[in-house]
Amino acid sequence: MKTFYLIFACSMLTAVSSFSQVGINTDNSAPDSSAMLDVMSTNKGFLPPRMTTTQRNAIGSPAEGLVIYNTDEKRLNIYNGTYWTPTSPEGCGQPFTDTRDGNTYNTVMIGTQCWIAQNLNIGTMIDGTSDQTNNSIIEKYCYNNNSYYCDIYGGLYQWDEYMNYTTPSDSIPSGRQGICPTGWHIPSNSEWIVLRTFLGGTLVAGAKMKETGTLHWYTPNTGATNSSGFTGLPGGSRSTNGTFNSMPFYADFWSSTVDSFSFPWIYYITCDNERLDEGHTYPVTIGFSGRCLQN
């Protein structure tokens, strides 16, 4: 009798192995032919492993496609072969309101990233001749000291103010909220590279990010299609001596990353080519535009 049961068990294991599919609660029917695992229920769900971001990051050599539920972010994460990314950023593609000041921003999904589709415009306007300071008040510059320009192009920020006086980061995600709304963060240099790569690389990404036409951009606004939905606007800059320049020719955006000489990396697009270029020779006291990425 023991021999019979042993032969039966081995036969069942062989059958399951050769069939290569598993069905749970499938009412004695075979799993769907397209599924390795077919789970049926009308009153229970599938529960993936639940862990914090720190625990997730401690997984050694995660496989591409690995899925967990991130208890810090309150959503699923998937490993894409290079880094962890949210499977479905909440509300991306829909406007949201920053509860700090009532400003409403458009959002757009570009590849695996959810971006605010407008330049950040949070803070109290100060004169361009003054430096922004760590005084628990978010401060911004408006081009030519005119709030009208902030309403269209967003504020201009010194790097430390934009970072909310936190340390630099080149992680994905950066982990630096800075002055971004809750649930959003400042993009790192590596995250800007992800965007640029998805949009086809340095030579063409800028054209896919620029608002079309010459209402805000100086002619000829070369190649602009805004096919990404990023809607880049040329907010110009505030120089270290307190003057304003480069509008409507340039859109310059900070990152959360600094080089070996502590100069922040920036990304910029211009009216006369299709490029998305990077730079890292600008002092932290210059004023540039800011964008935010959803966590």
Confirm whether 44 is domain-assigned.
Answer: no
Confirm whether 45 is domain-assigned.
Answer: no
| pLDDT computed for residue 30 by the predictor | 75
Residues 127, 32 share a domain: no
Residues 236, 103 share a domain: yes
Residues 67, 126 share a domain: no
pTM over 0.85: no
Q: Where are the alpha helices (DSSP H) in the chain?
A: 2-19, 53-57, 147-153, 159-162, 189-198, 202-209
Question: Which domain range does residue 28 map to?
Answer: 2-39
Looking only at the bridges linking them, the beta strands covering 37-39 and 22-24 are parallel
Averaged confidence pLDDT in the chain:
90
Domains identified in the chain, total number:
3
- The Cα 183–Cα 278 span in angstroms is 26
Q: Is the pLDDT of residue 263 over 90?
A: yes
Residues 139, 30 share a domain: no
- The Cα 166–Cα 266 span in angstroms is 17
Establish how many alpha carbons lie within 13 A of residue 83's alpha carbon, considering only the half-sphere containing its beta carbon: 12
Q: Is the pLDDT of residue 14 over 60?
A: no
- The Cα 183–Cα 173 span in angstroms is 12
Section 141-153 average pLDDT:
98
| pLDDT computed for residue 99 by the predictor | 93
225-256: pLDDT as tens digits: 999 999 999 999 999 999 999 999 999 999 99
